[in-house]
Structure 1
Amino acid sequence: MRLSFPIAGLFAVSLSLSTPAFATASGITGQSGKEGAACGLCHQGGTAPTVVIEGPASLAPGATGQYSLIIRGGPAKTGGTDIAVDSAEATLQAGAGLKKLGSELTHSTPKAFEANEVRFDFSLVAPSTDVTLTLFGSGNSTNGDLSAEGDRAVATKLTVKVGNGTPAPTPGGGGEGGDDEGGCAAAGSAPLWGLMMASASLALRRRRRS
């Protein structure tokens, strides 16, 4: 009975140490790069892959666009991802190999590389109003040993213009306000001209009297 306690303790420690690997194997959120993090806190040591998001850079309001997050290179055995969007009115829809957790998309299981790349397809349903939004995605290229060592993640992003995009700020100054200021300045100078005319008339009268 006494020997069972050290064994149980050792098993608990082993389980706690392996938890991050198993947790991320079934997907993770908050690591898309939107909040700054991009899986690099746990996965380190491997060769960095290249990660891109491909898809339309513009959509009509309310339209659905098809996108892919593609991981190329790195350890290139299996890959995982986390994808997010910075607009609360936009909706992400999972494709094959992805699942939705909250408002983000992540891999359901690590996906095997084929021809040195792994691709995660997904959809973006645009808001019904004009806005410029950003898709964020991190791609993790792993060596497939279910540990965090020897893997490497890289973040990327894609700007998408919906309709006319976010309205540009109105420039300050000029316009009718400037004309009004000019009118006020011209009107303010009228008493000065009147004073000058009165002074000239008074000087002329004095000359005639002399």
Structure 2
Amino acid sequence: MDKFTTLTGIAAPLPLINVDTDMIIPKQFLKTIKRSGLGVNLFDEMRYNDDGSENENFVLNKDAYREAEILVGGDNFGCGSSREHAPWAIKDFGIRCVIAPSFADIFYNNCFKNGILPIALPQAQVDLLMKDAEKGANARMTIDLEAQTVTTSDGEVVSFEVDPFKKHCLLNGLDEIGLTLEKAASIDAFEAQAGQSRPWV
């Protein structure tokens, strides 16, 4: 998993509440178990018209936000079914950080497991960041995970809270497999001892 330390990038404003996982990645795209290739279908039903052409009014189709790496959303982001394809699609598009007043629990935890930083902030602070994101491509935010700060394009700093263990995992690029491999020496020692004490197993 990619490490997340500091990110400076374009933030796209998506001022919608209750953005559920079916809006993030509709059910017809859940057939794959690959983590790549889903970015093109991110927000598919809002992003494309019925004929497959782009909806020019959707934020990620606007020139200023095509390269967005941060998404500023509304309350209860990621609600709905627990599909892990939702963070897969977000990351495959290129977004590494989602900021909202609140997140659905499963989506929130799945973000950390896939190298995405979800930041929950009070509504007033999200409103501030939303206004900054509305400035377009010339307004870049900086996310510093170590310092736990978001800095607006105007230099205003907002602090956020994050679980220390989840922070450690993101900073070091560790998913569950990576965490297990950190204990490889202890696992090998246990297996060797077990093999000697119980050779019949």
TM (norm. structure 1) is: 0.29
More helix, by proportion: 2
More strand, by proportion: 1
Which structure's CA Rg is the greater one?
1
